[in-house]
Every structure is written in C-alpha cells, then in structure tokens.
Amino acid sequence: MAKDVIIALDMPNRASVMSFLDRFGGEKPWVKIGMELFYAEGPEIVREIKRRGFHIFLDLKLCDIPNTVRGAMRSLRPLGVDIINLHAFGAAEMMRAAVEGLTDEDGGRETKLIAVTILTSTSEEALRREMLIDRPMADACIAYAENAKGAGLDGVVCSPLESPVIHGRCGEGFLTVTPGVRFAGGERGDQVRVTTPEKASALGSDYIVMGRPITGAADPVAAWERARAEFLGGNA
C-alpha cells in the first residue's frame, strides 16, 4: 500500500461528514471513521463513504474475548474497508482470532489489520499504578507491536517517533499508522508529542492521521493538499 494522509472524520453525524466530503469534489482522500460516527450512524455510513470511492480506515479498536472478536470481524468484513484495528492489549489469541474473522473462505484477506499498542493518553504513572505494567512505556509499546506482528497483523498505530524502532524490530513492511501530526507553527490542540508531516515521512511513517489541522482549516482541501505535499514530497 502506498503512503498517504488519512483524514480523521471526528464528526458526530452523517450530515456533517457528507458536507465535509463534498468539498473534495472528484478527489478521494483516505478517511478514518471512528467510534463517534460509527455508533451514531451504524455500518451504513461506512458503506456510503466507500460507495463514494474513499479509502477507509475503520478505527473501532476492538478488544474482547477471541470468539467475540472473531465474530465481530466476520460481521465487519463485508464492509470491505482498507484498514481496521484492535487493541494489542487483547493478546495474541484474540489478535489471531481477528485475523481469522477477516479472512474469507478462499483464505484471502482484503482488509489490513493493525493494532493499537498503548493509548497515547496513558501516562507512565497510570501504566505502572493502574495497569500494573512495570516497564517503560516505549518498551511496552515495542513488545506489543512484536506481539501483533507475531499474531499475523499488518502493523500498528503509533507515534511517528516510534516508527523507526518498530520498523527495525518488526520489518519495513510492517505498517506504522501515525497520529499526532501538526503543521509547523500550527495549533497542537490536546496532542502532546507532535511531528510535522515532513518529519513523519523522514521517520518512515506509512500513513499519517490528521484530524483538526484539516477538518478545522478554513480551506480543508488546501490543508489536505499541503499535508500530502509535505508528507509525500515529489510523490504527491
């Protein structure tokens, strides 16, 4: 899969999403559909956006017993999204079950499956005191990425700053899909560790996820074009 910019559609309903996507005319960016929109509108919103020709990362972060996740992935498979995710915290057996659920009768799999390692909202303090993980955050993230790779997943969601070490440990073909990206000199919002599209590219991110710097821009199409030009360089 070619590198690209994924726009996070953190919007509450169909009307706001469709008026946003209409602005792109014939252009068909990658978009990320998360829990907010999916739970409000159901799977039909995914079908509609796919029918309109957009590439879709369905960010539902599944985590449950293996049998339930296998069934959930089987239910989601017909949507034919490009990328879907789960929590590596659910452990290897659950991740293998998810791969099975996404695999069709002929043994093929249309949808890439990636794992969230540890949420970036988790502090070192919470990791140790509440989640009882007595290792530095970075080590835990890398270990979770290796578990995901071992279970047959295609990549992880991580910070661009973690892309080099994850590619080093899990292989260059293991996808790193990276949020926390901001234009130079732009608003950070609530993101703490931020990287520019150009820096994310230099660090080897396969996809960058950008929400508010594009959705909140006065001209979202121009912001998306700028993000692509900076991230893809001459290949935009």
Residue 149 annotated in active site: no
48-107: contacts with ligand C5P (CB under 6 A)? none
Q: Which of 3, 32, 50, 61 is catalytic?
A: 61
Question: At CA 156, angle to CA 180 and CA 147, rounded to 5?
Answer: 140
Instruction: Report the residue number, 147 or 195, with the smaller CB distance to ligand C5P.
Output: 195
15, 65, 119, 131: which one contacts ligand C5P (CB under 6 A)?
119
Number of residues engaging ligand C5P in binding (CB under 6 A): 15
Which residue, 130, 39, 43, is CA-closest to 78? Answer: 43
Other C-beta atoms lying within 10 Å of the C-beta of residue 80? 12
Candidates 211, 224, 227, 230; binder of ligand C5P (CB under 6 A) is 211
Going from the C-alpha of 129 to that of each of 133, 141, 143, the distances in angstroms are 8, 17, 19
> Which of 81, 153, 210, 223 touches ligand C5P (CB under 6 A)?
210
The answer to the question of residue 157 lying near ligand C5P (CB under 6 A) is yes
Query: 177 pairs with which residues across the strands?
Result: 157, 207
Among 3, 5, 7, 8, binds ligand C5P (CB under 6 A): 8
Could you tell me the smallest distance in angstroms from the CB atom of residue 100 to ligand C5P? Answer: 25
Of residues 92 and 161, the one with the C-beta less far from ligand C5P: 161
Task: Please identify the residue of the shown chain whose CB is closest to the bound ligand C5P.
Answer: 211
The closest of 30, 69, 34, 74 to 224, measured between CA atoms, is: 30
Cβ nearer to ligand C5P, comparing 151 with 208: 208
How far is residue 213 from each of residues 6, 10, 80, 191, 209, measured CA to CA in Å?
12, 12, 28, 12, 10
The residue length of the chain stands at: 236
Bridge partner list, 32: 8, 57
SS3 content of the chain, % helix, strand, coil (to 5): 45, 15, 35
Record the tokens describing residue 157, joined without a space.
Answer: 């969601």
Write down the least CB distance from residue 182 to ligand C5P, Å.
7
Name the residue among 113, 112, 169 with its Cα closest to residue 138.
169
Among the listed residues 91, 198, 212, 217, the single contact to ligand C5P using CB under 6 A = 212
| Nearest distance, CB of residue 128 and ligand C5P, angstroms | 19
User: Min. distance of Cβ 120 from ligand C5P in angstroms?
Assistant: 4
Residues annotated as catalytic are: 61
Q: Which residues in this chain contact ligand C5P in the complex, by CB under 6 A? A: 8, 10, 34, 119-120, 157, 179-180, 189, 191, 209-213
